[in-house]
Structure 1
Amino acid sequence: MRFFNDTKYVVTFLLSLIGLFSFLLYKNLTARPGESDSPTIGVLTFKTKTVLRKYNDQVVWDNIESRSEVKNRDTIRTEGFSDAILTLNDGTKINIAENSMILLDISDKNININFAYGAFDAAREGGSTGETKMKITSGDKTVEVGKGDVKLDKTKDELNVKVGQGEAKIHSNGKEETVGKDQMASVSKEGVRVSKPKFSLVSPPDKKNYFVESGNETIGFTFNGVTQETLKGTSPVIEVSTSHDFTKLVLKDKIKSGSYSKSLGNGSYYWRIAYLDPESKTKQFSETGRFRVLTDPPLRLFSPRDGENYNYTNDLPVVKIAWNQLELYSSYTAQIAEDTGFTKGLKSKQTQNQSIAFDGLGDGAYFARVIAKSNMPDVQEKISSVSKFTVGKKLSLEPPVILEPAKGKVFTKDQIQNNIFFTWKDNKDFPSFALEISSDSNFSKTIIKQTTQSNFLKLGSDLSEGNYFWRVRGTQGGKEDIVSAIGNFSIVAKEDLNLVSPNNGSDVEANENSGTVLRWKKLSAKSEYVLEVSKSSDFNSVILKETTSNHYQEVKLKEFGKYYWRVTGTSNSGNTSSDSWNFSFNTSMEPPVLVTPTRGETVDLLSRTNIAFAWKPTEKAIGYRIRLIDISGVREKQVFSERVTQPKYGFNDLQKLNEGRFRVELCSLYGTTSGEKESVYHRSEFYISLPAMKVPKILTPGKIYVE
């Protein structure tokens, strides 16, 4: 025990424990679940998107891919917009819908399926021989199927079974019911209800996929069993939902014929016919059909651009092909060829990403395209447009391209602290670069010249205040240097903050937002700007004060007239204020003037059936917009907003009005080349009073006494 009194032994022991448990934690987090020892009972023959599998002896869910073996007592779960097809060893096919989960067990020579939630269908063909049966368990309910096909969907309170071919036996609450061909059974707390639906679904076919580039698709629904007699006696209704339990309905409408159409957007849908059984007077349903509307945009080639040139000096260039991602497609094949038919000199590469690179292309013209392939059976491959590009050796080197500091950039002494960062585009044609700084544009007085192999340089020289010019030479080792364009920058003691627009003393016309945009020159240092707008030149009454990090601000002004404005910039080096400018604010788009009700008028609704609004028409207006706003409460509430073509409007829905204060807002609408524009709004307030309700006086009968 004395070792635990020695610090070095304790620290060593604790560090060893930390290292051991860290290693075990890492192995546990990065380890993938191992294969199950259970026998193989089938294969996942098809899947879309996310399908998960959990082995019987594990608690971790893992993605399962197509053609993967399915083990006994595996649990399969699908997520949204996903489905899977399992083919068991005896030929049974199980199609699992999205957001569903089942557990498979063939321990007693029968196919046992524990149905947790969602929907699925199973088909047992003639090849499924022997006495093997399929037993589907959901809670305390069991569905037994010999040969044939069956569809099941489970809601919160009910299990629905539809038999296509063959028959199924349902065991619930100690009772057994047989469901035959084309029959349906609903199993609930009340028992098992077997019926043959009066309506059958025809189109869209079950599991049908509709593909649209964008927007909606018009779905044509057709169904059998619609006659004048059934329409009258059953009152059928079509229901379309985004959930299999029909809790999220997107369509519910009476049907008057054997067809119906509806425009639907991207999504997964379930549909059925609900009707009233004339004999039992209970609500019944047809089988449930599934379909999806999937957005399938075109495949666009981003790179290489059509007509792009890849020039090189020594080493052949790398050509990157890039394209947009398509959700419905799982793999892409990028192709480069020397002809548009993609036969001569064809080079192909396959990937699941959205870009891939080709190298070793010699001088010449090439064509590029991408082919997308999906693992969904009804999705055809998609081919992008073709881009032509060329590869060629440079006949002459391009000069370096300077980047920072930008042309005309201004630095303050405090800001740079004797350090300025110069950058230019990297160019592998030059083994080194020479940065030159001069006080004149002819570079007759070169102040600094430094050589580097990088495309940047940070100078620590103490440059004084003044204007400077800079350029970069690309050196080639014995050959003539290639010189970049010339950039310039300035160093000042303190940078001025200059206003840009509107010009001082100018007339400014209101924009469509009843305002204008004020701009000023952006300071070189990162700054916050405070904009002040006033009606007086001394700024004693500031009507607007805004803080922004931009070098512009849109201001909305309630009145026309003359305004004064200025800006103050705040940075680490201190505050900088601009001069004060002024502008006159007006508009050529004249607002209308309200005639009735007049400002401050009280409108009594006792003898009125409507409220008439009228205003003076404005010249060249193509229409007007009128809004009524209730401002009698804590929060304003809009009563109506209408576009009209005449200078009047009658409001009839007086039930929407309360007693109190209201505001009318009117604007003129003008047609412009960029669309319809609004003038500033004319605003006027008035009051509404409601008639006082008198307490009724009972005249007859008099008092009545009841023994």
Structure 2
Amino acid sequence: MILLLLSYLLYDDSLLFPPDTNNEPAIGVISTSANDVRRKNSGNFIWLPGNKKDQIYNRDSIFTGDGSQAAIQLNDGSLIQIQENSLVNLNLKNGQMQLDLRFGQFVGNGNSTIHVKTGDDEYTIEGKDAKFEINRSQSGNLDVKVLSGNAEISGKAGKQNLKSNESLQISKKGAEKNQVDAKITLLTKDDSLMYRAADKQPLPFAWEGKGPLDQYQIEIAKTEDFKKVLALRTTTEQKFAVKDSLKEGNYFWRVKGLDDRRKVIASSAVQKFYLSYMLPPTITSPEDKVTLKNKALDKGEGLQASTQVVWTADERPLRYQWQLSKTAEFTENIAEKTLAEKTVETPTLFQGTYYTRVRGIDKDNRPSPWSKTHAFNFEVANEEKPPAPRLVEKRIRFQVPKLAEGRAPSAATSPQVAWTSVDVAKNYRWEIAKNAKFVGAAASETPNTKVAWTQYKPGKYYFRVFTKTALGQSSDASETGTLEVYGDAPMLNAIPSVLVKNDDVRATAPAKESRATWSPIPEAKTYLVQIDKSEEFANPTQIEVPATEGAISMPEPGKYFVRVKAMNESSQDMSDFSNVQTVDYVFKHTLKGPDLIEPYDKTTIFLQKDMEPFIWLEWSSVPDATKYILEVSTKADFSNVVISKEMTSTRFLVKEKIPYGAIYWRVRAVHQDESLNSDWSARQFMFIHQRNDGF
């Protein structure tokens, strides 16, 4: 704890040496301090840290180190900005400020008179709304540049009047007046509205610099005279994102240009911006770039319709300003309203593209940023596509009833499909098929909202419904429903596929079997199963089984189609064929397992010293292998793997220590298709340490 305290005191010795005013009056305060800034009283030999808000007394000295800056706000309203690597003594003489610039540079502004002393020479600068920069080189030469306004510089050699962007170079040979050809134009729009969702989020600024400018300084202040700079940042780019902590409100900003000696040779105009922490509303409807289709009656003035604009916002806004325009720049506003609600009805609109935006206004009448502009294409037609019906039941299960011999199914004994009504519908078209893509579907039209399907047979079907208007326009399809009919035919279940792998490239695919199961049919004695590689069952293989399952024989790889029907005790048809299922038989040649070459199986290895082994493990190369996986274990089941490596080489040098005793190792070849990886090759060797001092 004591060491920590001493370390802090070495870092900040202001606690050890409190400031001494030496009975001098206070003449100003440090308004900004960046990096290494120090100050010293005239009667004190100790340099103290110069912190923000520290008082400055008459005859104080200010020092700035490399990459450091300080701004002194004098009591008379003048602002002095001391640049890096500078030493300035401040002396109030006869009510006027005298600055002794030992070395470095500073920037001053205001309307008061400032006396500058450099060595044996003394100059008087009288400003008229002026901002000026003074730099003293190592040779003792003095450069005075007026950044804005007008200033009069007088000395032993006479007087010189300087205007904005003019400089005066003073040496022992005399004074030379120059015009600096440098300019900064602010690109960020004046009086911009900027916002943050949280403090210290970046605020983007951009400008364009012309002339011999190496660096730029952006300044932000609450007042246009920049008496108190709140943010000061330096950059080599012509843009900067300010992250300083700033409260909501109006601010002024400007940019200064520095040459290769870090001297200010140009200054931009002053612009204003407003910083808001109020978030913009979010338009939820219509979506951006959406096409809105509307229906309307033509009354001779062209088709027109209106729509709603809806948005969300946090609790801060009390009302909203909403705009609708024909241009993205909102130069042609069609409608503009101020309202408390978060929704608004547009006026009637013709077909075209429109732009809308909204912003919030709080209790202090401060606006938020505009929301993101939403563009929408507005289409108006006599009639739009009608909505699709909704199915009352999406899944229907129907058991075939027992009918008297020769009696056809009626509406009362058939499955019923129903849907909701649509106001603009004249008829409904309904479709039913054996596949979800509705290939070969049966279709019919009805004015009713339900239909009885009398043409059913056992199996699974898919159905959907469309709305049709009086003009014959059809809606999109409803959701797809399923109809499962049980009764006079078995329902065949999905059949597991078969995958066979073999690492012998000369091996041929063996015959394989899978198992099929289906629903029972009452009173059925046997079932006839048909298997064919053709979906039309042109030449099927047939087997008859007494149960509701059977073996599906597949002599060779491929896709097989299977169906089944019930048979009576006379081996006559008792039902139609079931639904068709497919089963795949896939045969793949996998990689051959690598042959383990070295060390030989069950090899005993003796080490002469207790150190890491250097043992080569080697195996054969496998064609088409992309890499190999090596595992070394102390257990035969490889439950304790001590080395696991992936490599493209067929050799591996064991360098690390491994336990003595039985060591097992194995390798497998890896294919680009992981399903074709080889099996593991495995061997073991004995690893025994034996010390023999005779060697």
Q: Return the TM-score normalized by structure 1.
A: 0.33
Structure with the greater alpha carbon radius of gyration: 2
What's the TM-score, normalizing by structure 2? 0.33
